[in-house]
């Protein structure tokens, strides 16, 4: 409660709201400039929303946030899309009932906002002009793209997962057994990050070459059947937390020391790293996490295992979601070059998640 009151006072006196972070409209207030060259900006917005934030993305300087609402007396759930612009709720959109409230992915691809429900064949595109969802027939599992490769990934649950590099020039595919990583590129090397591991690939053409049965398209079409291949490939593991429990699900409220996200700045790879109570900017040295700066305390990040596509396309880092110990205080974090933006959300609605 004390933390909540402090943020209320802070927001009242500073009159801060969600802010654009592009060159044309820098409206955030600088909270801290670190000696290491990083900066931390913070702003706060007040809302009155029944429900819980499940997914969020930033598109054309607006925040698109999905909230799940429960109607306990009927045992029903629904999901709403809130569009924030300049710190205010611009629109509230009902999601089609066909989408349901199960696992889904919510991302931007080819300048379009897409919803892909888990294990379903119908997908949805959000028309930002008419503000309606439209069904589309097909969307793939792209996680990264540059001038040379398309990178796809699939998660097979307890069986692990696979990631494919498809060379654009030849259509030849190469694979590595790692599930749904975040991809960053520095110079010509690719860095694949999960919660507990970071892999460096100097040349994807030195990975295992796919035969017909191993093509991404065949895996996706056959319903994601998977068998372990355990073939060698040319890559290096620069970080591996062997204490991380392999079968810990990617589930909200399950917090352990882990890498939340990674980003590149000045040709170096940095990480957002959280312990049980502190969130850091960190680097990896000799297979160990080296904290550089404290971002904040008691921010608990979360995501869902089906939500991983297009998180770092064209240098746009993913938008991170966090909770705090106060159910009325949560928010979003984004990394823009050497600046960390934290957007706190104070929900003034009565909340009951039970």
Nearest to 302 by CA among 335, 270, 324: 324
Q: What is the mean pLDDT of residues 213-236?
A: 72
DSSP state of 291: E
Q: Where are the beta strands (DSSP E) in 88-215?
A: 88-94, 104-109, 112-117, 123-127, 132-136, 142-145, 149-155, 161-167, 173-176, 182-186, 189-193, 197-201, 208-209
Residue, of 162 and 78, whose pLDDT is higher: 162
What's the CA gap between 62 and 83, in Å, rounded?
7
Residue 232 banded pLDDT, cuts 50, 70, 90: low
- Cα 178 from chain centroid (whole Å): 17
Burial annotation 87-105 (CB, 10 A radius, 16+ → b, else e): beeeeebebeeebebeebb
Say if residue 288's pLDDT is above 80: yes
- Backbone phi, psi, residue 63, to 5°: -105, 125
**At 225, is the secondary structure helix, strand, or coil?**
coil
Q: Residue range 171-188: average pLDDT?
A: 95
22 pLDDT more than 80: no
- Within the chain, what is the greatest distance between any pair of CA atoms? 62
Q: Is pLDDT at 2 greater than 50 in this prediction?
A: no
Residue the block writes with tokens 């589309």: 136
Across the chain, mean pLDDT equals: 84
Average of per-residue pLDDT across 296-314: 91
pLDDT for position 23: 36
Distance CA 103, CA 118 (A): 5
pLDDT for position 249: 46
- Is residue 191 within 8 Å of 184, Cβ to Cβ? yes
The pTM of this model reads: 0.85
Distance, CA of 300 to CA of 229 (rounded, Å): 35
Q: How far apart are the first and last CA of the chain?
A: 20
Collapse the DSSP code of 218 into the 3-class scheme (helix H, G, I; strand E, B; otherwise coil) and give the result.
Answer: helix
Q: What is the distance between the alpha carbons of residues 85 and 160, in angstroms, rounded to a whole number?
A: 39
**Range of weakest confidence among 67-76, 136-145, 257-266:** 67-76
Residue whose tokens read 């696979």: 162
Of 351, 348, 325, nearest to 1 (Cα)? 325
What ranges in the chain are assigned the alpha helix state H? Answer: 2-14, 216-221
pLDDT at 124 over 70: yes
Q: What is the pLDDT of residue 228?
A: 55
| Residue 261 contacts residue 274 (beta carbons within 8 Å) | no
Sheet containing 236-240: give its strands across. 182-186, 189-193, 197-201, 236-240
pLDDT at residue number 352: 53
Residue 253 has pLDDT above 70, yes or no: no
* pLDDT band (50, 70, 90) for residue 120: confident
- The backbone region for 200, taken as left when phi is positive above 0, alpha when psi lies in -120 to 50, beta otherwise, is beta
Let me know if 8 is exposed, middle or buried by CB neighbors in 10 A (0-12, 13-18, 19+).
middle
pLDDT the model gives residue 122: 85
**Degrees to nearest 5, angle at CA 112 with 70 and 259:** 65
């Amino acid at each position: 409660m004390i933390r909540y009151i402090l943020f209320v006072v802070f927001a009242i006196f500073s009159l801060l709201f969600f802010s654009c972070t592009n060159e044309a409209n820098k409206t955030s207030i600088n909270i801290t400039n670190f000696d290491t060259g990083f900066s931390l900006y913070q702003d706060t917005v007040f809302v009155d929303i029944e429900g819980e934030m499940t997914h969020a993305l930033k598109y054309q300087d607006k925040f698109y946030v999905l909230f799940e609402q429960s109607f306990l007396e009927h045992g029903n759930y629904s999901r709403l899309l809130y569009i924030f612009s300049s710190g205010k709720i611009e629109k509230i959109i009902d999601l089609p009932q066909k989408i349901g409230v199960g696992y889904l992915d919510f991302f931007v691809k080819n300048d379009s906002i897409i919803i892909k429900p888990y294990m379903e064949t119908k997908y949805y595109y959000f028309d930002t002009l008419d503000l309606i969802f439209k069904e589309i027939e097909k969307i793939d599992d792209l996680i990264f793209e540059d001038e040379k490769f398309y990178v796809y990934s699939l998660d097979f649950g307890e069986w692990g997962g696979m990631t494919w590099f498809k060379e654009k020039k030849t259509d030849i595919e190469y694979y590595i057994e790692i599930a749904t990583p975040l991809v960053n590129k520095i110079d010509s090397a690719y860095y694949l990050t999960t919660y507990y591991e970071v892999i460096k690939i100097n040349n994807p053409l030195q990975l295992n070459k796919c035969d017909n049965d191993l093509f991404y398209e065949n895996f996706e079409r056959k319903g994601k059947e998977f068998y372990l291949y355990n073939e060698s490939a040319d890559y290096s593991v620069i970080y591996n937390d062997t204490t991380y429990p392999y079968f810990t699900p990617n589930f909200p409220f399950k917090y352990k020391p882990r890498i939340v996200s990674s980003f590149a700045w000045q040709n170096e790879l940095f990480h957002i790293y959280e312990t049980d109570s502190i969130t850091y900017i960190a680097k990896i040295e000799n297979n160990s996490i080296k904290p550089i700066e404290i971002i904040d305390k008691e921010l608990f990040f979360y995501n869902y295992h089906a939500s991983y596509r297009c998180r770092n396309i064209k240098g746009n880092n993913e938008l991170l979601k966090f909770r705090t110990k106060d159910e009325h205080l949560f928010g979003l974090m984004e990394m823009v070059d050497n600046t960390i933006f934290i957007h706190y959300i104070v929900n003034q609605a009565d909340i009951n998640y039970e």
